[in-house]
Structure 1
Protein backbone atom coordinates (compact mmCIF):
# COMPACT_ATOMS: atom_id res chain seq x y z
CA UNK A 1 0.00 0.00 0.00
CA UNK A 2 1.34 3.43 -0.93
CA UNK A 3 0.79 6.05 1.77
CA UNK A 4 1.42 9.76 1.22
CA UNK A 5 2.17 11.90 4.28
CA UNK A 6 1.04 15.41 3.36
CA UNK A 7 3.15 17.63 5.58
CA UNK A 8 6.00 16.08 7.57
CA UNK A 9 6.33 18.62 10.35
CA UNK A 10 6.23 17.63 14.01
CA UNK A 11 3.37 15.10 13.97
CA UNK A 12 3.64 14.25 10.28
CA UNK A 13 7.30 13.44 10.79
CA UNK A 14 6.53 11.13 13.71
CA UNK A 15 3.88 9.28 11.68
CA UNK A 16 6.28 8.99 8.75
CA UNK A 17 9.09 7.60 10.91
CA UNK A 18 6.89 4.85 12.34
CA UNK A 19 5.24 3.98 9.02
CA UNK A 20 8.37 3.96 6.84
CA UNK A 21 9.32 0.27 7.36
CA UNK A 22 5.75 -0.97 6.88
CA UNK A 23 4.51 0.47 3.58
CA UNK A 24 5.48 2.26 0.39
CA UNK A 25 5.74 5.69 2.00
CA UNK A 26 6.10 9.03 0.24
CA UNK A 27 6.43 12.32 2.12
CA UNK A 28 5.03 15.42 0.40
CA UNK A 29 6.23 18.71 1.85
CA UNK A 30 6.65 22.31 0.69
CA UNK A 31 9.86 23.00 2.66
CA UNK A 32 12.69 22.43 0.17
CA UNK A 33 15.44 22.12 2.81
CA UNK A 34 13.39 19.54 4.68
CA UNK A 35 12.77 17.48 1.54
CA UNK A 36 16.47 17.62 0.62
CA UNK A 37 17.57 16.55 4.11
CA UNK A 38 15.07 13.68 4.21
CA UNK A 39 16.27 12.29 0.87
CA UNK A 40 19.95 12.81 1.65
CA UNK A 41 20.20 11.78 5.31
CA UNK A 42 16.92 10.05 6.14
CA UNK A 43 14.32 10.98 8.75
CA UNK A 44 15.86 11.33 12.23
CA UNK A 45 13.47 10.83 15.15
CA UNK A 46 14.49 11.48 18.75
CA UNK A 47 12.68 9.75 21.58
CA UNK A 48 13.73 9.53 25.23
CA UNK A 49 17.11 11.02 24.35
CA UNK A 50 17.89 8.44 21.64
CA UNK A 51 17.88 9.39 17.93
CA UNK A 52 17.37 6.87 15.14
CA UNK A 53 17.24 7.48 11.39
CA UNK A 54 15.15 5.74 8.76
CA UNK A 55 15.39 6.02 5.00
CA UNK A 56 12.41 7.77 3.42
CA UNK A 57 11.42 9.21 0.08
CA UNK A 58 10.32 12.85 0.05
CA UNK A 59 9.03 15.06 -2.77
CA UNK A 60 7.91 18.65 -3.21
CA UNK A 61 5.74 17.85 -6.24
CA UNK A 62 2.71 15.83 -5.03
CA UNK A 63 2.22 14.34 -8.49
CA UNK A 64 5.40 12.32 -7.86
CA UNK A 65 3.58 10.52 -5.03
CA UNK A 66 0.90 9.20 -7.41
CA UNK A 67 -0.75 6.70 -7.12
CA UNK A 68 -1.22 6.76 -3.35
CA UNK A 69 -4.05 4.69 -1.90
CA UNK A 70 -4.21 6.78 1.27
CA UNK A 71 -3.01 10.24 2.26
CA UNK A 72 -2.56 11.44 5.83
CA UNK A 73 -2.99 15.21 6.02
CA UNK A 74 -0.93 16.67 8.85
CA UNK A 75 -0.28 20.25 7.78
CA UNK A 76 -1.17 23.38 9.74
CA UNK A 77 -4.62 24.80 9.08
CA UNK A 78 -3.37 27.67 6.90
CA UNK A 79 -1.85 25.06 4.55
CA UNK A 80 -5.01 22.97 4.14
CA UNK A 81 -5.93 24.45 0.74
CA UNK A 82 -2.49 23.45 -0.55
CA UNK A 83 -2.87 20.04 1.07
CA UNK A 84 -6.20 19.50 -0.69
CA UNK A 85 -4.57 20.23 -4.04
CA UNK A 86 -1.66 17.96 -3.11
CA UNK A 87 -4.05 15.13 -2.28
CA UNK A 88 -5.81 15.57 -5.63
CA UNK A 89 -2.47 15.13 -7.40
CA UNK A 90 -1.07 12.35 -5.20
CA UNK A 91 -4.07 10.07 -4.73
CA UNK A 92 -5.18 7.29 -7.03
CA UNK A 93 -8.72 7.79 -8.41
CA UNK A 94 -10.14 5.64 -5.60
CA UNK A 95 -7.72 6.93 -2.97
CA UNK A 96 -8.83 8.41 0.35
CA UNK A 97 -7.45 11.34 2.36
CA UNK A 98 -7.56 11.32 6.15
CA UNK A 99 -7.14 14.60 8.03
CA UNK A 100 -5.60 14.29 11.48
CA UNK A 101 -5.25 18.06 11.90
CA UNK A 102 -6.15 20.23 14.87
CA UNK A 103 -9.26 22.37 15.02
CA UNK A 104 -12.43 22.59 12.96
CA UNK A 105 -12.99 23.24 9.25
CA UNK A 106 -10.14 21.27 7.65
CA UNK A 107 -12.37 18.38 6.58
CA UNK A 108 -14.64 20.79 4.71
CA UNK A 109 -11.71 22.32 2.80
CA UNK A 110 -10.49 18.89 1.72
CA UNK A 111 -14.00 17.73 0.79
CA UNK A 112 -14.52 20.79 -1.40
CA UNK A 113 -11.52 19.71 -3.51
CA UNK A 114 -11.80 15.91 -3.38
CA UNK A 115 -15.49 15.25 -2.69
CA UNK A 116 -16.95 14.16 0.64
CA UNK A 117 -16.74 10.46 -0.27
CA UNK A 118 -12.94 10.68 -0.48
CA UNK A 119 -12.21 12.39 2.85
CA UNK A 120 -12.06 10.77 6.26
CA UNK A 121 -11.25 12.35 9.59
CA UNK A 122 -9.30 11.31 12.62
CA UNK A 123 -7.95 12.49 15.95
CA UNK A 124 -4.47 11.85 17.28
CA UNK A 125 -2.92 12.66 20.63
CA UNK A 126 0.66 11.92 19.58
CA UNK A 127 3.14 14.53 20.71
CA UNK A 128 5.90 15.79 18.45
CA UNK A 129 8.36 18.62 17.86
CA UNK A 130 10.02 19.64 14.60
CA UNK A 131 13.72 20.08 15.41
CA UNK A 132 14.94 21.13 11.95
CA UNK A 133 15.25 19.82 8.39
CA UNK A 134 14.90 16.05 8.49
CA UNK A 135 14.67 15.91 12.30
CA UNK A 136 11.73 15.45 14.69
CA UNK A 137 11.25 14.55 18.33
CA UNK A 138 8.55 12.10 19.42
CA UNK A 139 7.38 13.86 22.57
CA UNK A 140 4.91 11.23 23.70
CA UNK A 141 2.84 8.27 22.54
CA UNK A 142 -0.89 8.85 22.20
CA UNK A 143 -3.92 7.16 20.70
CA UNK A 144 -5.18 7.77 17.17
CA UNK A 145 -8.86 7.30 16.32
CA UNK A 146 -10.24 7.18 12.77
CA UNK A 147 -13.77 7.68 11.48
CA UNK A 148 -15.45 4.62 10.03
CA UNK A 149 -16.78 6.73 7.18
CA UNK A 150 -16.60 7.29 4.25
CA UNK A 151 -15.05 3.87 3.50
CA UNK A 152 -14.95 1.26 6.24
CA UNK A 153 -12.58 -1.06 4.34
CA UNK A 154 -9.97 1.66 3.89
CA UNK A 155 -10.44 2.84 7.49
CA UNK A 156 -9.77 -0.68 8.77
CA UNK A 157 -6.78 -1.11 6.46
CA UNK A 158 -5.25 2.16 7.69
CA UNK A 159 -5.92 1.29 11.34
CA UNK A 160 -4.31 -2.13 10.88
CA UNK A 161 -1.25 -0.54 9.27
CA UNK A 162 -0.84 2.06 12.03
CA UNK A 163 -1.16 -0.58 14.73
CA UNK A 164 1.38 -2.76 12.94
CA UNK A 165 3.75 0.23 12.89
CA UNK A 166 3.42 0.63 16.67
CA UNK A 167 0.94 3.53 16.73
CA UNK A 168 -2.17 2.56 18.76
CA UNK A 169 -5.19 3.16 16.53
CA UNK A 170 -8.91 2.44 16.73
CA UNK A 171 -12.04 3.22 14.71
CA UNK A 172 -15.24 4.91 15.83
CA UNK A 173 -18.61 5.76 14.38
CA UNK A 174 -18.91 8.81 16.67
CA UNK A 175 -15.87 10.92 15.89
CA UNK A 176 -17.50 14.26 16.76
CA UNK A 177 -17.18 13.47 20.45
CA UNK A 178 -13.44 12.92 20.13
CA UNK A 179 -12.89 15.87 17.77
CA UNK A 180 -14.53 18.23 20.24
CA UNK A 181 -12.77 16.57 23.14
CA UNK A 182 -9.39 17.32 21.58
CA UNK A 183 -10.51 20.76 20.36
CA UNK A 184 -11.38 21.88 23.88
CA UNK A 185 -8.04 20.66 25.21
CA UNK A 186 -6.33 22.73 22.51
CA UNK A 187 -8.59 25.69 23.28
CA UNK A 188 -7.48 25.62 26.90
CA UNK A 189 -3.76 25.05 26.41
CA UNK A 190 -2.44 26.28 23.06
CA UNK A 191 -3.09 30.02 22.94
CA UNK A 192 -2.26 30.64 26.61
CA UNK A 193 1.06 28.79 26.42
CA UNK A 194 1.89 30.62 23.18
CA UNK A 195 1.20 34.02 24.77
CA UNK A 196 3.06 33.26 28.00
CA UNK A 197 5.81 31.32 26.20
CA UNK A 198 5.68 28.52 28.73
CA UNK A 199 5.46 24.74 28.60
CA UNK A 200 2.12 23.05 29.24
CA UNK A 201 2.71 22.24 32.90
CA UNK A 202 2.88 25.91 33.93
CA UNK A 203 -0.85 26.28 33.24
CA UNK A 204 -1.64 23.82 36.03
CA UNK A 205 0.88 25.34 38.44
CA UNK A 206 0.19 29.07 38.00
CA UNK A 207 -3.06 30.20 39.62
CA UNK A 208 -3.69 33.10 37.21
CA UNK A 209 -3.05 30.92 34.16
CA UNK A 210 -5.22 28.17 35.66
CA UNK A 211 -8.09 30.62 36.15
CA UNK A 212 -7.81 31.86 32.55
CA UNK A 213 -7.73 28.29 31.25
CA UNK A 214 -10.93 27.56 33.20
CA UNK A 215 -12.74 30.58 31.75
CA UNK A 216 -11.72 29.78 28.17
CA UNK A 217 -12.67 26.11 28.48
CA UNK A 218 -16.03 26.90 30.12
CA UNK A 219 -16.96 29.10 27.16
CA UNK A 220 -16.04 26.31 24.74
CA UNK A 221 -18.09 23.77 26.69
CA UNK A 222 -21.12 26.06 26.40
CA UNK A 223 -20.70 26.23 22.63
CA UNK A 224 -20.29 22.45 22.41
CA UNK A 225 -23.47 21.91 24.44
CA UNK A 226 -25.42 24.27 22.17
CA UNK A 227 -24.16 22.22 19.20
CA UNK A 228 -25.49 19.05 20.82
CA UNK A 229 -22.00 17.62 21.32
CA UNK A 230 -21.44 15.05 24.06
CA UNK A 231 -17.91 15.40 25.38
CA UNK A 232 -15.84 12.33 26.33
CA UNK A 233 -15.31 13.58 29.90
CA UNK A 234 -17.53 15.14 32.57
CA UNK A 235 -15.36 17.68 34.46
CA UNK A 236 -13.90 19.42 31.43
CA UNK A 237 -11.65 21.93 33.19
CA UNK A 238 -10.20 19.20 35.39
CA UNK A 239 -9.54 17.07 32.31
CA UNK A 240 -7.70 19.88 30.48
CA UNK A 241 -5.59 20.58 33.56
CA UNK A 242 -4.80 16.85 33.80
CA UNK A 243 -3.61 16.92 30.17
CA UNK A 244 -1.46 19.96 30.95
CA UNK A 245 0.13 18.09 33.86
CA UNK A 246 0.59 14.88 31.86
CA UNK A 247 2.35 16.84 29.09
CA UNK A 248 4.07 19.26 31.47
CA UNK A 249 7.41 19.26 29.63
CA UNK A 250 5.87 19.68 26.16
CA UNK A 251 5.67 22.85 24.12
CA UNK A 252 2.19 23.18 22.60
CA UNK A 253 2.00 23.27 18.81
CA UNK A 254 0.98 26.94 18.94
CA UNK A 255 3.96 27.84 21.10
CA UNK A 256 6.21 26.01 18.63
CA UNK A 257 4.65 28.05 15.81
CA UNK A 258 5.22 31.32 17.65
CA UNK A 259 8.84 30.49 18.49
CA UNK A 260 9.46 29.82 14.77
CA UNK A 261 7.60 32.96 13.72
CA UNK A 262 5.15 30.77 11.80
CA UNK A 263 1.37 31.31 11.42
CA UNK A 264 -0.66 29.60 14.13
CA UNK A 265 -3.92 27.64 14.01
CA UNK A 266 -5.75 30.15 16.22
CA UNK A 267 -8.56 30.58 13.67
CA UNK A 268 -9.51 26.88 13.70
CA UNK A 269 -9.14 26.43 17.47
CA UNK A 270 -10.21 29.38 19.68
CA UNK A 271 -11.42 31.18 16.56
CA UNK A 272 -13.79 28.31 15.80
CA UNK A 273 -15.33 28.69 19.27
CA UNK A 274 -15.78 32.43 18.73
CA UNK A 275 -17.36 31.95 15.29
CA UNK A 276 -19.76 29.25 16.46
CA UNK A 277 -20.59 31.23 19.60
CA UNK A 278 -21.54 34.25 17.49
CA UNK A 279 -23.70 32.05 15.28
CA UNK A 280 -25.47 30.53 18.28
CA UNK A 281 -25.76 33.73 20.31
CA UNK A 282 -23.32 32.57 23.00
CA UNK A 283 -20.80 35.15 24.28
CA UNK A 284 -17.16 34.01 24.14
CA UNK A 285 -15.18 37.06 25.34
CA UNK A 286 -12.21 35.12 26.74
CA UNK A 287 -11.69 33.15 23.55
CA UNK A 288 -12.18 36.30 21.48
CA UNK A 289 -9.47 38.06 23.49
CA UNK A 290 -7.02 35.20 22.97
CA UNK A 291 -7.74 35.27 19.23
CA UNK A 292 -7.14 39.02 19.12
CA UNK A 293 -3.87 38.76 21.06
CA UNK A 294 -2.44 35.92 18.97
CA UNK A 295 -3.50 37.69 15.76
CA UNK A 296 -1.84 40.89 16.95
CA UNK A 297 1.37 38.98 17.64
CA UNK A 298 1.30 37.39 14.20
CA UNK A 299 0.77 40.69 12.43
CA UNK A 300 3.15 42.84 14.46
CA UNK A 301 6.75 43.61 13.67
CA UNK A 302 9.32 41.41 15.33
CA UNK A 303 7.19 38.32 14.74
CA UNK A 304 8.78 35.29 16.32
CA UNK A 305 11.18 37.39 18.37
Structure 2
Protein backbone atom coordinates (compact mmCIF):
# COMPACT_ATOMS: atom_id res chain seq x y z
CA UNK A 1 0.00 0.00 0.00
CA UNK A 2 0.98 3.62 -0.50
CA UNK A 3 0.87 5.56 2.75
CA UNK A 4 1.29 9.20 3.63
CA UNK A 5 2.04 9.86 7.28
CA UNK A 6 0.91 13.41 7.98
CA UNK A 7 2.83 14.38 11.10
CA UNK A 8 5.88 12.15 11.61
CA UNK A 9 6.15 12.64 15.37
CA UNK A 10 5.88 10.06 18.13
CA UNK A 11 2.85 8.25 16.71
CA UNK A 12 3.25 8.94 13.00
CA UNK A 13 6.99 8.31 12.98
CA UNK A 14 6.51 4.99 14.75
CA UNK A 15 3.86 3.81 12.31
CA UNK A 16 5.77 5.08 9.29
CA UNK A 17 8.92 3.22 10.30
CA UNK A 18 7.10 -0.04 11.00
CA UNK A 19 5.13 0.08 7.75
CA UNK A 20 8.25 0.90 5.72
CA UNK A 21 10.05 -2.06 7.28
CA UNK A 22 7.06 -4.21 6.27
CA UNK A 23 7.63 -3.26 2.63
CA UNK A 24 4.99 -0.58 2.09
CA UNK A 25 5.55 2.67 0.22
CA UNK A 26 5.67 5.32 2.94
CA UNK A 27 5.91 9.09 2.54
CA UNK A 28 6.47 11.24 5.62
CA UNK A 29 5.11 14.75 5.87
CA UNK A 30 7.02 16.70 8.47
CA UNK A 31 8.59 20.11 8.98
CA UNK A 32 11.55 22.02 10.35
CA UNK A 33 14.66 20.38 11.77
CA UNK A 34 12.90 17.02 12.04
CA UNK A 35 12.22 17.02 8.30
CA UNK A 36 15.79 17.98 7.42
CA UNK A 37 17.23 15.27 9.64
CA UNK A 38 14.99 12.62 8.08
CA UNK A 39 16.00 13.75 4.60
CA UNK A 40 19.70 13.64 5.46
CA UNK A 41 19.96 10.56 7.68
CA UNK A 42 16.64 8.70 7.48
CA UNK A 43 14.12 8.22 10.27
CA UNK A 44 15.60 6.49 13.31
CA UNK A 45 13.23 4.63 15.61
CA UNK A 46 14.54 3.76 19.06
CA UNK A 47 11.98 1.39 20.49
CA UNK A 48 11.53 -1.04 23.35
CA UNK A 49 10.10 -3.31 20.64
CA UNK A 50 13.22 -3.08 18.47
CA UNK A 51 15.19 -0.28 16.80
CA UNK A 52 15.24 0.50 13.11
CA UNK A 53 16.35 3.14 10.62
CA UNK A 54 14.32 3.68 7.45
CA UNK A 55 15.15 5.69 4.36
CA UNK A 56 11.82 7.00 3.10
CA UNK A 57 10.74 10.11 1.17
CA UNK A 58 9.98 13.09 3.40
CA UNK A 59 8.53 16.46 2.50
CA UNK A 60 6.52 19.39 3.79
CA UNK A 61 4.54 19.59 0.54
CA UNK A 62 1.75 16.99 0.09
CA UNK A 63 1.63 17.80 -3.63
CA UNK A 64 5.00 16.01 -3.98
CA UNK A 65 3.41 12.79 -2.71
CA UNK A 66 0.20 12.50 -4.72
CA UNK A 67 -2.81 10.27 -4.10
CA UNK A 68 -2.39 7.52 -1.49
CA UNK A 69 -4.27 4.44 -0.39
CA UNK A 70 -4.24 5.73 3.18
CA UNK A 71 -3.25 8.89 5.03
CA UNK A 72 -2.32 8.37 8.66
CA UNK A 73 -3.18 11.73 10.19
CA UNK A 74 -1.06 12.20 13.30
CA UNK A 75 -0.71 15.93 13.95
CA UNK A 76 -1.48 17.55 17.29
CA UNK A 77 -5.18 18.28 17.67
CA UNK A 78 -4.65 22.05 17.63
CA UNK A 79 -3.22 21.68 14.10
CA UNK A 80 -6.06 19.52 12.76
CA UNK A 81 -7.93 22.20 10.84
CA UNK A 82 -4.86 23.82 9.27
CA UNK A 83 -3.34 20.47 8.32
CA UNK A 84 -6.64 19.14 6.97
CA UNK A 85 -6.68 22.03 4.49
CA UNK A 86 -3.52 20.56 2.91
CA UNK A 87 -4.86 17.03 2.36
CA UNK A 88 -6.38 17.36 -1.12
CA UNK A 89 -3.26 16.28 -3.10
CA UNK A 90 -3.15 13.05 -1.09
CA UNK A 91 -6.73 12.00 -1.83
CA UNK A 92 -7.76 9.49 -4.46
CA UNK A 93 -11.18 7.99 -5.13
CA UNK A 94 -11.04 5.65 -2.12
CA UNK A 95 -8.36 7.05 0.18
CA UNK A 96 -8.77 6.40 3.89
CA UNK A 97 -7.78 9.35 6.11
CA UNK A 98 -7.26 7.78 9.52
CA UNK A 99 -6.93 10.07 12.53
CA UNK A 100 -4.58 8.78 15.22
CA UNK A 101 -4.92 11.78 17.52
CA UNK A 102 -6.01 12.71 21.01
CA UNK A 103 -9.64 13.73 21.42
CA UNK A 104 -13.07 12.95 20.02
CA UNK A 105 -13.57 15.90 17.65
CA UNK A 106 -10.78 15.44 15.11
CA UNK A 107 -12.77 13.16 12.81
CA UNK A 108 -15.55 15.75 12.57
CA UNK A 109 -13.06 18.52 11.85
CA UNK A 110 -11.41 16.39 9.16
CA UNK A 111 -14.77 15.57 7.58
CA UNK A 112 -15.62 19.26 7.40
CA UNK A 113 -12.45 19.80 5.36
CA UNK A 114 -12.35 16.77 3.04
CA UNK A 115 -15.77 15.10 3.25
CA UNK A 116 -17.22 12.33 5.40
CA UNK A 117 -16.46 9.67 2.82
CA UNK A 118 -12.69 9.87 3.38
CA UNK A 119 -12.49 9.85 7.17
CA UNK A 120 -11.87 6.89 9.47
CA UNK A 121 -11.34 6.88 13.22
CA UNK A 122 -8.28 5.66 15.04
CA UNK A 123 -6.87 5.31 18.54
CA UNK A 124 -3.19 4.93 19.46
CA UNK A 125 -1.94 3.38 22.70
CA UNK A 126 1.77 4.12 22.74
CA UNK A 127 4.27 6.22 24.67
CA UNK A 128 6.52 7.78 22.04
CA UNK A 129 7.89 11.17 21.13
CA UNK A 130 10.49 12.96 19.02
CA UNK A 131 13.67 12.55 21.05
CA UNK A 132 15.71 14.72 18.70
CA UNK A 133 15.42 15.75 15.04
CA UNK A 134 15.08 12.61 12.96
CA UNK A 135 14.77 10.34 16.00
CA UNK A 136 11.51 8.92 17.39
CA UNK A 137 11.73 7.24 20.79
CA UNK A 138 9.19 4.60 21.85
CA UNK A 139 9.54 4.14 25.59
CA UNK A 140 6.54 1.95 26.41
CA UNK A 141 2.90 1.17 25.93
CA UNK A 142 1.58 -1.71 23.87
CA UNK A 143 1.97 0.03 20.48
CA UNK A 144 -1.68 -0.87 20.00
CA UNK A 145 -3.57 0.84 17.19
CA UNK A 146 -7.36 0.57 16.91
CA UNK A 147 -9.18 1.86 13.83
CA UNK A 148 -12.33 1.53 11.79
CA UNK A 149 -14.83 3.17 9.49
CA UNK A 150 -16.96 5.68 11.37
CA UNK A 151 -20.14 3.79 10.43
CA UNK A 152 -18.64 0.42 11.40
CA UNK A 153 -18.72 -0.99 7.86
CA UNK A 154 -15.99 -3.47 6.94
CA UNK A 155 -15.03 -1.83 3.65
CA UNK A 156 -12.32 -3.09 1.32
CA UNK A 157 -10.09 -0.15 2.21
CA UNK A 158 -10.31 -0.72 5.94
CA UNK A 159 -9.58 -4.41 5.43
CA UNK A 160 -6.50 -3.50 3.37
CA UNK A 161 -5.35 -1.14 6.10
CA UNK A 162 -5.94 -3.84 8.69
CA UNK A 163 -3.87 -6.31 6.71
CA UNK A 164 -1.02 -3.82 6.34
CA UNK A 165 -0.90 -2.89 10.03
CA UNK A 166 -1.36 -6.48 11.15
CA UNK A 167 1.62 -7.48 9.01
CA UNK A 168 3.96 -4.89 10.52
CA UNK A 169 6.31 -5.99 13.30
CA UNK A 170 5.93 -4.03 16.52
CA UNK A 171 2.31 -3.09 15.83
CA UNK A 172 -0.68 -4.54 17.67
CA UNK A 173 -3.43 -3.90 15.13
CA UNK A 174 -7.13 -4.00 16.02
CA UNK A 175 -10.00 -3.45 13.59
CA UNK A 176 -12.81 -2.04 15.77
CA UNK A 177 -16.46 -2.99 15.57
CA UNK A 178 -17.41 0.54 16.67
CA UNK A 179 -14.51 2.99 16.60
CA UNK A 180 -16.56 5.75 18.25
CA UNK A 181 -16.68 3.61 21.42
CA UNK A 182 -12.92 3.19 21.24
CA UNK A 183 -12.37 6.94 20.81
CA UNK A 184 -14.44 7.77 23.88
CA UNK A 185 -12.99 4.87 25.86
CA UNK A 186 -9.47 6.26 25.47
CA UNK A 187 -10.77 9.79 26.06
CA UNK A 188 -11.99 8.71 29.51
CA UNK A 189 -8.44 7.75 30.47
CA UNK A 190 -6.40 10.52 28.86
CA UNK A 191 -8.57 13.28 30.34
CA UNK A 192 -7.84 11.89 33.82
CA UNK A 193 -4.15 11.18 33.30
CA UNK A 194 -3.52 14.47 31.50
CA UNK A 195 -5.69 16.57 33.78
CA UNK A 196 -4.35 15.23 37.05
CA UNK A 197 -0.65 15.22 36.13
CA UNK A 198 -0.69 18.62 34.43
CA UNK A 199 -2.61 20.49 37.13
CA UNK A 200 -0.63 18.92 40.00
CA UNK A 201 2.73 18.92 38.14
CA UNK A 202 3.24 15.50 39.68
CA UNK A 203 3.41 11.94 38.29
CA UNK A 204 0.67 9.39 38.73
CA UNK A 205 2.47 7.71 41.63
CA UNK A 206 2.09 10.81 43.79
CA UNK A 207 -1.53 11.16 42.74
CA UNK A 208 -2.25 7.57 43.77
CA UNK A 209 -0.73 8.23 47.20
CA UNK A 210 -3.06 11.16 47.88
CA UNK A 211 -6.65 10.17 48.62
CA UNK A 212 -8.16 13.52 47.45
CA UNK A 213 -6.03 13.52 44.28
CA UNK A 214 -6.92 9.90 43.48
CA UNK A 215 -10.61 10.72 44.00
CA UNK A 216 -10.16 13.68 41.64
CA UNK A 217 -8.60 11.33 39.06
CA UNK A 218 -11.55 8.97 39.26
CA UNK A 219 -14.11 11.76 39.03
CA UNK A 220 -12.44 13.11 35.89
CA UNK A 221 -12.98 9.70 34.31
CA UNK A 222 -16.54 9.29 35.53
CA UNK A 223 -17.55 12.68 34.13
CA UNK A 224 -16.21 11.90 30.66
CA UNK A 225 -17.92 8.50 30.70
CA UNK A 226 -21.22 10.17 31.66
CA UNK A 227 -20.92 12.59 28.74
CA UNK A 228 -20.20 9.75 26.32
CA UNK A 229 -23.27 7.80 27.43
CA UNK A 230 -25.45 10.92 27.28
CA UNK A 231 -24.36 11.28 23.65
CA UNK A 232 -25.46 7.72 22.94
CA UNK A 233 -22.03 6.10 22.90
CA UNK A 234 -22.31 2.48 24.03
CA UNK A 235 -19.45 2.71 26.51
CA UNK A 236 -18.99 -0.49 28.55
CA UNK A 237 -20.19 -0.23 32.16
CA UNK A 238 -16.82 -1.15 33.64
CA UNK A 239 -14.78 1.40 31.70
CA UNK A 240 -13.87 3.63 34.65
CA UNK A 241 -12.94 0.74 36.93
CA UNK A 242 -10.84 -0.87 34.20
CA UNK A 243 -8.88 2.33 33.65
CA UNK A 244 -8.40 2.83 37.37
CA UNK A 245 -6.89 -0.62 37.61
CA UNK A 246 -4.65 0.21 34.65
CA UNK A 247 -3.58 3.50 36.27
CA UNK A 248 -2.74 1.69 39.52
CA UNK A 249 -0.22 -0.41 37.58
CA UNK A 250 1.39 2.46 35.69
CA UNK A 251 4.98 3.33 36.52
CA UNK A 252 4.93 5.71 39.46
CA UNK A 253 6.82 8.33 37.43
CA UNK A 254 4.36 8.33 34.50
CA UNK A 255 3.07 11.74 33.44
CA UNK A 256 1.20 12.69 30.25
CA UNK A 257 1.84 14.48 26.97
CA UNK A 258 -0.14 17.45 28.31
CA UNK A 259 2.22 17.70 31.29
CA UNK A 260 5.23 17.32 28.97
CA UNK A 261 4.06 20.14 26.73
CA UNK A 262 3.28 22.35 29.71
CA UNK A 263 6.73 21.85 31.22
CA UNK A 264 8.57 22.27 27.90
CA UNK A 265 6.91 25.47 26.74
CA UNK A 266 4.92 23.82 23.94
CA UNK A 267 1.39 24.51 22.77
CA UNK A 268 -1.22 22.56 24.73
CA UNK A 269 -3.95 20.22 23.48
CA UNK A 270 -6.20 21.48 26.28
CA UNK A 271 -9.03 22.55 23.97
CA UNK A 272 -9.20 19.09 22.38
CA UNK A 273 -9.20 17.42 25.81
CA UNK A 274 -10.92 19.16 28.72
CA UNK A 275 -12.25 21.99 26.56
CA UNK A 276 -13.97 19.38 24.43
CA UNK A 277 -15.41 17.65 27.52
CA UNK A 278 -16.90 20.94 28.68
CA UNK A 279 -18.43 21.68 25.27
CA UNK A 280 -19.92 18.21 24.85
CA UNK A 281 -21.22 18.27 28.42
CA UNK A 282 -23.05 21.54 27.83
CA UNK A 283 -24.69 20.09 24.72
CA UNK A 284 -26.08 17.06 26.58
CA UNK A 285 -26.73 18.67 29.96
CA UNK A 286 -24.18 16.77 32.05
CA UNK A 287 -22.29 18.41 34.94
CA UNK A 288 -18.49 18.07 34.69
CA UNK A 289 -17.03 20.22 37.50
CA UNK A 290 -13.70 18.39 37.71
CA UNK A 291 -13.04 18.77 33.99
CA UNK A 292 -14.18 22.38 34.16
CA UNK A 293 -11.63 22.95 36.91
CA UNK A 294 -8.79 21.47 34.85
CA UNK A 295 -9.83 23.57 31.88
CA UNK A 296 -9.98 26.73 33.99
CA UNK A 297 -6.63 26.14 35.71
CA UNK A 298 -4.73 25.42 32.49
CA UNK A 299 -6.50 27.87 30.16
CA UNK A 300 -4.15 30.79 30.91
CA UNK A 301 -1.20 28.59 29.96
CA UNK A 302 -2.93 27.37 26.80
CA UNK A 303 -3.74 30.93 25.79
CA UNK A 304 -0.19 32.08 26.47
CA UNK A 305 1.24 29.26 24.32
CA UNK A 306 -1.20 29.71 21.45
- Please give the alpha-carbon distance, in whole angstroms, between the structure 2 residues aligned to 1:133 and 1:191: 28
**Which residue pairs with 2:242 in the alignment?**
239
Q: Aligned to 1:228, what secondary structure does the other structure show?
A: coil
Asked if the contact 1:6–1:86 (Cα under 8 Å) also holds between the matched residues in 2, the reply is: no
- Please give the alpha-carbon distance, in whole angstroms, between the structure 2 residues aligned to 1:285 and 1:23: 47
The 1:250–1:56 alpha-carbon spacing in structure 2 relative to 1, beyond 3 Å, is: farther
**Which residue pairs with 2:24 in the alignment?**
23
Residue 235 (structure 1) shift: 5.3
**Which residue pairs with 1:36 in the alignment?**
36
**Which residue pairs with 1:172 in the alignment?**
176
Residue 245 (structure 1) shift: 3.6
Q: 2:283 aligns with which of 275, 279, 283?
A: 279
Asked if the contact 1:125–1:141 (Cα under 8 Å) also holds between the matched residues in 2, the reply is: yes
What pairs up with 1:59-98 in 2 under 5 angstroms? 59-98=59-98
Instruction: String of CA shifts for 1:21-43, please: whole Å, max 9, x gaps.
Output: 221100112x3111000111111
1:160 aligns with 2:159: no
- Please give the alpha-carbon distance, in whole angstroms, between the structure 2 residues aligned to 1:163 and 1:46: 21
Q: Aligned to 2:131, what secondary structure does the other structure show?
A: strand
The 1:45–1:273 alpha-carbon spacing in structure 2 relative to 1, beyond 3 Å, is: same
What pairs up with 1:76-155 in 2 under 5 angstroms? 76-138=76-138, 139-148=140-149, 149=151, 152-155=155-158
Asked if the contact 1:203–1:241 (Cα under 8 Å) also holds between the matched residues in 2, the reply is: no
The 1:84–1:299 alpha-carbon spacing in structure 2 relative to 1, beyond 3 Å, is: closer
Q: Tell me whether 238-247 or 154-163 shows the greater mean CA deviation.
A: 238-247
Instruction: String of CA shifts for 1:226-251, please: whole Å, max 9, x gaps.
Output: 22222235151x32333324442544
Q: 1:260 aligns with which of 264, 282, 285?
A: 264
1:9 aligns with 2:9: yes
Residue 50 (structure 1) shift: 6.9
Residue 141 (structure 1) shift: 2.0
Q: Aligned to 2:81, what secondary structure does the other structure show?
A: helix
- If the length of structure 1 is used for normalisation, what is the TM-score? 0.90
Residue 51 (structure 1) shift: 4.8
The 1:200–1:74 alpha-carbon spacing in structure 2 relative to 1, beyond 3 Å, is: farther
Q: Tell me whether 157-166 or 79-88 shows the greater mean CA deviation.
A: 79-88
Residue 76 (structure 1) shift: 0.8
The 1:66–1:200 alpha-carbon spacing in structure 2 relative to 1, beyond 3 Å, is: farther
- Please give the alpha-carbon distance, in whole angstroms, between the structure 2 residues aligned to 1:50 and 1:181: 28
Gaps of 5+ in 1: none
Q: 1:269 aligns with which of 270, 273, 279?
A: 273
Residue 121 (structure 1) shift: 0.9
- Please give the alpha-carbon distance, in whole angstroms, between the structure 2 residues aligned to 1:271 and 1:188: 13
Q: Tell me whether 179-188 or 118-127 shows the greater mean CA deviation.
A: 118-127
